[in-house]
Amino acid sequence: MHDLCIGQMMDLRAAHVSTEKENGQLDELDRVAWLKTGKAIEIALIPPAILAISPSTSSVDIQCIEIANIRELGRLM
């Protein structure tokens, strides 16, 4: 996971050097970074969390909230 993030950071840094801020490409690059790295981090976190949810947690709403919180953690990472 660390190498994935480092590679993405290097890719973005190289792209930012050759991109002008005025034309909105930086926002697009950040969105691409989220889709590439952020989603990979989310995929690494969500399946184990789903497997670890206790069957005694009866409320589907609580399970959905827990999954949403983990997704948010992945987004912030």
Nearest C-alpha neighbor of 29 from the set 18, 44, 41, 40: 18
pLDDT, one tens digit per residue, over 10-63 is 777 777 776 666 667 777 777 777 777 777 878 888 888 777 776 766 677 777
Secondary structure class of 19 (helix, strand, coil): coil
Q: What is d(CA 37, CA 64) in angstroms, rounded to the nearest whole number?
A: 23
Instruction: Decide: pTM greater than 0.85.
Output: no
Higher per-residue confidence, 69 vs 23 = 69
Q: Are 30 and 13 in contact (CB under 8 A)?
A: no
Nearest C-alpha neighbor of 4 from the set 38, 50, 31, 27: 38
Q: What is d(CA 39, CA 36) in angstroms, rounded to the nearest whole number?
A: 6
